[in-house]
Amino acid sequence: MSGRVELYVGRGVDGDNGIVRLDEHTMEYLGVRPGDEVCISSLALSLAETYAKVAEAQLKDKGRSILRISNDIMREGNFKVGMRVLVGNYSPMRYF
Q: Is 55 contained in some domain?
A: yes
Q: Is 96 contained in some domain?
A: no
- Which of 88, 92, 14, 94 shows the shortest CA–CA distance to 54? 88
Going by pLDDT thresholds of 50, 70 and 90, the confidence category of residue 44 is: confident
Cα–Cα distance list, 38 to 10, 18, 41, 54 (Å): 16, 11, 10, 7
Residue span of the structural domain in which 73 resides: 4-91
pTM: 0.85
Q: What rounded mean pLDDT belongs to the chain?
A: 88
b vs e for 57-77, b when ≥16 Cβ sit within 10 Å of the residue's Cβ?
A: beeebeeeebbbbbeebbebb
Residues 50-71: tens digit of each pLDDT? 999 999 999 998 889 999 999 9
Q: How many domains is the chain built from?
A: 1
Residues 63-95: tens digit of each pLDDT? 899 999 999 999 998 899 999 999 998 766 554
